Amino acid sequence: MVGEVVSASLLLEDVMRSARLMRRLVRCAAPLVVFASTALAQRDGGQPDSLYTRQHYDKAEYMVPMRDGVKLYTIVYTPKDTSQAWPFMLLRTPYSIPPYALTDYKRVLGPSPEFDRDGYIFVYQDARGKFRSEGTFRVMNPYKPEKHGPKDVDESSDNYDTIGWLLGNIKHNNGRVGQWGISYPGWQTVMGMIAAHPALKASSPQSSPSDMYVGDDFHHNGAFRFMYTFNWLSGNARPRGAATTDRPKPFDYGTTDAYSFFLNVGTVGRINELYFHDQVPTWNDFLQHPNYDAYWKDQNALKDMKGVTHPVLNVTGWFDQEDFYGPMSIYYAIEKQNPKNQSTLVVGPWNHGGWGAGGGDSLGPVKFDSPTGDYFRTEVQLPFFQRYLKDKQVKPLAEAVVFESGTNVWKTYDSWPPKAAVKKELYLHAGGKLSFTPPAEAGAAAYDSYVDDPAHPVPYTQEKRPTQGFLWMVEDQWFASTRPDVLTYETEPLTENVTVAGPVLAKMRVSTSGTDADFIVKLVDVFPGDRGRAGGDQRMRDYQMLVGAEVFRAKYRHSYSTPEPMVPDQVTPLEWDLRDKNHTFQKGHRIMVQVQSTWFPLIDRNPHQFMDIYAAKPSDFKKATQRIYRSATQPSHLELLVLP
């Protein structure tokens, strides 16, 4: 959601803008307009983009009233050319909308510089309770379908009221509105799609979460995303005092070693005592709702997707470290509940928001052979909004525009997953083997085991950094494969390409000596050992590239709402989704699967006892022996969709 990427323009601005103090108080009456000048452009460095926006746009600020009387701070950039009517491009965000001074201009308006030249009325708004907007901010304020009074407000109603005000108060508009946002602003875009204003004609939610318990920022399959939740709430969920344009200061970890920092904390329950001191009420809310109860269900956006009738461009990255479940589940929900909707799914080889700025031609040492970000911004995103906001005759987008990693090519399909994809099972075998052939071994001893020790959890990355980052999403997994508490299985070198296109399901048969456990399954592409000698990148020789991974907390195997203890040492089927992939394991590569029970501090530790883990004491954490079964009658395998 949330995270380290806000929107394309804000990303660029963080790099290029020179901040200035607010020059005057915001007034709700007449807008304050400052016209461009060469002198002002020179003062901030005379950057070409800044000069262009000053020359072609006027900037004004407003306090826009909502139905409950709260006013939201809004900046509007309108084209100086008044010879025609322009559509709106709206972004609402809790991350601030700098520069706030009317004498300062954004160097890039809209999702990318191409929009500046194309001409739109660009609208930026501080979310309720953030920065210069009035009201109180609530993390993931859920949609309220039944509104009985003026105080029943949510992001959907704030979006609706904002659009209504813009149509009536900003001149030279053509009556059409488009909206976009990445991460939390992406979720606000989704909320604007629900019970939408009739003038909303095109939406592009990008990396939006949908369900914070099942698969997005704060939990995955009931397991708590410890370090990320701590970091984001510490900076974004503290109640504010007076309205301010100052961004929250990042938490000072006092170290670059997150693994040691969180291990020394001991338990999730100690965070408030040690660091938050009741100044982050949302953290306490989370800990009071360890299971999937009404608190989390109300926030689930998927239940509210019915009635989304305007075109939607749903965007994410295969290597999104925060919100990949969200965009995919939103796409599936729209398709199911609104079959006539003109919805397009776009997935590129990006981390969270990585398409917003930059070339997008690599992640760490993994190369994608082309500027994928440029392609998306010019060939997909801009034409989408041109088509529905300006009636430009551009080529319609395919149902799915997806990048195929491995072969590094863009593909288009008339459905996702592709209709041609066929189901195949990839089985775990004795001796660390992996094969599409089912195991023939029989007997109760057909399993592999390891001891999981919460005092020495498996790290999620080799990087030494205080916050989560994103390179771990494609990181070489050799560091994990050498540990005794990680099981590794791999195929023989492939004799032909294997292209996975669609959901990847883990169907495991497991047991634990405790009464609860976590299981993490990772899908890995192992590069050939002779790649360096063949003239390729030496860094990729024997590289174990992470393609996908997911955790499952075993007590939620039947219900996220009603957890059940595991029966010690009893074979138990667990099935969970490793999420969609579109990746080719090339000829000569190997496919690897790794299985482990800790992924720290990405995921909090499981004490291996059936209990409320948030209330666990250090003495509650025990070692456990985990078994992964691979017999003919108890096979563990991945279920893949493979293109012929």
- CATH number of domain containing 154: 3.40.50.1820
371 and 501 inside one domain:
no
pLDDT score for 36:
27
At residue 22, does pLDDT exceed 60? no
pLDDT exceeds 50 at position 31: no
**In-domain check, residue 279:** no
Site of tokens 């003495």: 619
> Is 80 exceeded by the pLDDT of residue 34?
no
Tell me what percent of the residues of the chain surpass a pLDDT of 70: 91
Confidence of residue 566 (pLDDT cuts 50, 70, 90): very high
Q: Do 384 and 307 reside in the same domain of the chain?
A: yes
pLDDT at 41: 27
Residues 400 and 338 in one domain: yes
Domain limits for position 102: 8-211+299-413
Q: Any residues with CB less than 8 A from the CB of 457 and at least 6 apart, and which?
A: 263, 598, 599, 600, 601, 605
Q: How confident is the model at residue 147, as a pLDDT?
A: 83
pLDDT of residue 537: 80
Is 320 a member of any domain? yes
Domain endpoint, select from 375, 394, 413: 413
Residue 15 has pLDDT above 60, yes or no: no
Mean pLDDT, all residues of the chain: 91
Boundary-marking domain end, from 413, 446, 468: 413
Q: Are residues 508 and 389 in the same domain?
A: no
Proportion of the chain in helix, strand, coil states, percent, rounded to 5: 25, 25, 50
* Residues in Cβ contact with 382 at an 8 Å cutoff, skipping those fewer than 6 apart: 111, 112, 114, 115, 118
Rounded CA separation 414/335 (Å): 12
Q: Of 24-38, 101-115, 169-183, 315-329, which range is least confident?
A: 24-38
Answer yes or no: is 444 within a domain.
Answer: yes
Tell me the per-residue pLDDT of 462-504, one tens digit each, with 9 for 90 and over: 999 999 999 999 999 999 999 999 999 999 999 999 999 999 9
| Closest among 287, 255, 251 to 272, alpha carbons compared | 287
pLDDT value, residue 42: 27
pLDDT of residue 632: 97
* pLDDT surpasses 60 at 224: yes
Q: What is the mean pLDDT of residues 426-453?
A: 96
Residue 524 resides in a domain: yes
- Structural domain includes residue 271: no
- Cα 187 to Cα 205: distance, rounded to the nearest angstrom: 7
CA dist., res. 407 & res. 583, Å (int)? 8
CA distance 135 to 138: 10
Q: What is the pLDDT of residue 613?
A: 98
CA dihedral 40, 46, 52, 55 (to 10 degrees): 30
- Residue 258 within a domain: no
Q: Is pLDDT above 60 for 49?
A: no
What pLDDT digit, counting tens, does each position of 390-423 carry? Answer: 999 999 999 999 999 999 999 999 999 999 999 9
Q: Is 74 left (phi over 0), alpha (psi -120 to 50) or beta?
A: beta
> What is the predicted pLDDT for the residue at 245?
83
From 413, 440, 458, the end of a domain falls on: 413
CA dihedral 346, 349, 353, 359 (to 10 degrees): -110
Average pLDDT estimate for 181-196: 98
Is 553 part of any domain?
Answer: yes
Q: Are residues 426 and 574 in the same domain?
A: yes
Q: 436 falls in which pLDDT band (50, 70, 90)?
A: very high
Average pLDDT over residues 491-520: 98
| CATH at 511 | 2.60.120.260
Q: What is the pLDDT, as a whole number, of residue 539?
A: 86
Type and span of the H or E element at 174: strand 173-182
Q: Which of 254-258, 471-475, 535-539 has the lowest mean pLDDT?
A: 535-539
Identify whether residues 442 and 355 lie together within a single domain. no
Percent of the chain with pLDDT over 90: 87
Structural domain total, the chain: 2
* pLDDT at residue 540 is higher than 80: yes
360 and 502 inside one domain: no
As a whole number of angstroms, the distance between CA 372 and CA 369 comes to 8
Residues 105 and 140 in one domain: yes
The pLDDT assigned to 44 comes to: 31
22 and 66, same domain (yes or no): yes
Of 9-18, 291-300, 430-439, 614-623, the range with the lowest mean pLDDT is: 9-18
Q: pLDDT grade, residue 267 (50/70/90)? A: very high
- Examine the domain organization and report whether 406 and 446 are in the same domain: no
486 shares its domain with 404: no
Among the ranges given (30-44, 184-198, 396-410, 513-527), the one the predictor scored with the smallest mean pLDDT: 30-44
Is residue 10 predicted with pLDDT exceeding 70? no
638, containing H or E segment: strand 637-643
One domain for residues 462 and 351: no
Closest of 315, 369, 366 to residue 470, by C-alpha: 366
| 232 lies in some domain | no
